[in-house]
Amino acid sequence: MSERFDVIVMGSGLGGLVSAVLLAKEGRHVCVLEKNQQFGGNLQNFSRNKTIFDTGVHYIGGLSQGQNLYRYFDYLGIMDELSLKQMNKDGFDVVTFDDDPMEYPYAQGYENFVTSLVEKFPEEEDGIRGFCNSMREMCSNFPLYDLRTGKPYFEDAEVFGKQVKEHINSFTTNEKLRAVLGGTNLLYAGDDTRTPFYVHALSVNSYIESAYRCVNGGSQISKILLKKLRELGSVAYKRSEVTDFIYTDGKLTGVKTIEGNTFEADIFISNIDPKRTIEIAGAEHFRKAYVNRISSIPDTCSAFSLYVVLKPDSFPYLNKNYYHFKDATRVWKAQEYTQESWPESYMVSMGVNKNTKVYGDTLTAMTYMRYEEVEPWEKTFNTVVRKNERGQTYEAFKAEKTEIFITELEKKFPTIRECIEAVYTSTPLSYRDYIGNDRGCMYGYEKDIQNPLRSFISPRTKIDNLFFTGQSLNMHGILGVTISAVITCSEILGGAYLLRKIQQATSEEIIG
Ligand SMILES: Cc1cc2nc3c(=O)[nH]c(=O)nc-3n(C[C@H](O)[C@H](O)[C@H](O)COP(=O)(O)OP(=O)(O)OC[C@H]3O[C@@H](n4cnc5c(N)ncnc54)[C@H](O)[C@@H]3O)c2cc1C
């Protein structure tokens, strides 16, 4: 079988789906090819004990009317159909520490953010305001975050040159406040020596603007995008893993799936991890220096997650996330845990459905886990499409880690153990196999202040009709990846043209 399209998008993560809809809206006949049983990449759900869990989205920022992600989603035509619950306005995230009963809140709206933190740190108003001003100023350097025209990548070395920990610490000498202001760095797997401050600013700013949970899970975003895509006359196939590129007279003309089907097109967009894309495309089609550079970019750290089914009416629904640390002095070192100190930090988030009132029915807890921990089983592969056992020792490893993690959670949530009906886990191998990257990284490639250009990935490649999209370009997260897709499609449609259309459509909406 061979089918022909204008554009083929490989991978149905958010970046792939947003690119597909943007191009389909321009009349292109698009085909999305996804290797998994479910579309959505990190936006997949899975269900256990009749309960739905999100794999990779706990909350989303910038979704109040007129805000940046609202306007992008509105243009894509999905905003009206999303079912969302706004998180606590006075503390959507709280940062907490062992041996300190205080919950340090992140409130929605900058003024509210300042007021809530000043209550905990009355002497520190100037520092907190300085931090907020710096966050907003940094975000204003990235025009697309505000749907403004301008360069997609800011070229000022000063922007890339601010180190996250050093910069945050410059606003206060209060060690606890420093830990609180950097305390949500699991959002981007922050590293004190490498991560630039702009990554913190772009990740955290949109939540301070507004923070929402998806009712019944984040996979609704991919489902609604797919519905839009099909309404526009385009198609998407699951269980279609791209394994080969087809070149005719030196030009990329098609791709082949593992089942042996071929798909032809004029333009190809890869939402697959760039390192893996180069392998599939054949390294000989790229410059050696480029292949070496991309293959040497370190991945962000991976995670170990607990998905807890709660007994009915046992554990109150918490409309906020917890970022907890054993030790306030190790906020930037939690990835460097030892076997004895693991887990040094975690994030706890709860699921919400339309019946959620007083009690919650699911809780997800996530912490860092380095890939090397699961290397003994790295030759195994297990997804719904290619089901395999990883073996007894792996099950024992997961059980041991689960027990340690629950014991740690009990310190903060003393009743948690008796509320657990069932618990499921994912490890770096789960993320690796479902997403199709090298080492199960959470957020794509690391941004490194020492070497900003090394981790820069342009949507354009040496193959002139092959483009990249997704979290390894630009930024990760729902907002970051949506913007990546706009950047990718700008290369095809023209940046000024596309942005003007989005601006016009969404400003009419605001005025109307
Ligand atoms: C644990 C976790 C929690 C997170 N929480 C949040 C959050 O609360 N808020 C937030 O904004 N962001 C969050 N993120 C980040 C966010 O989910 C991701 O940045 C985003 O979804 C990545 O989108 P992407 O376009 O890069 O595609 P990906 O999600 O990386 O998907 C890539 C797709 O390509 C497919 N694919 C790979 N190889 C092939 C092939 N050969 N052929 C066909 N298809 C292929 C994969 O199956 C997958 O569907 C979280 C991420 C993780 C891991």
Banded pLDDT at 155 (limits 50, 70, 90): low
Q: Is the pLDDT at 511 greater than 60, yes or no? A: no
The preferred substitution site among 18, 57, 307 for testing ligand 1, maximizing ligand atoms within 8 Å of CB, is 57
What pLDDT, in 10s, does the model give residues 352-371?
999 999 999 999 999 999 99
DSSP 8-state assignment for residue 354: T
Strands 100-106 and 345-350: unpaired
Ligand 1 centroid to 81 CA: how many Å? 21
Q: Is the pLDDT at 1 greater than 70, yes or no? A: no
- Which residues fall within 8 angstroms of residue 152, CB to CB, at 6 or more apart? 143, 144, 474, 487, 490, 495
Nearest-CA residue for ligand 1 atom 10 is 477
What pLDDT, in 10s, does the model give residues 51-108?
888 888 999 999 999 999 999 999 999 999 999 999 999 999 999 999 999 999 999 9
Indicate the domain borders of the chain: 2-43+58-83+216-297+447-511, 106-214, 301-442
Banded pLDDT at 4 (limits 50, 70, 90): very high
3-state helix, strand, coil in the chain (%, to 5): 40, 20, 35
What count of residues does the chain have? 512
Rounded to an integer, the average pLDDT of 387-416 is 96
Question: Ligand 1, closest atom to CA 36?
Answer: 47
**2-43+58-83+216-297+447-511: in CATH 3.50.50.60:** yes
pLDDT at 378: 94
Ligand 1 centroid to 473 CA: how many Å? 12
What the block records as the tokens of 161 is 């040159």
Place of tokens 């609202």: 70
**Who lines ligand 1 at CB under 6 A?**
10-16, 33-36, 41-43, 56-60, 241-242, 271-272, 303, 366, 431, 435-436, 442-443, 470-471, 476-478, 481
Q: Is the pLDDT at 158 greater than 90, yes or no? A: no
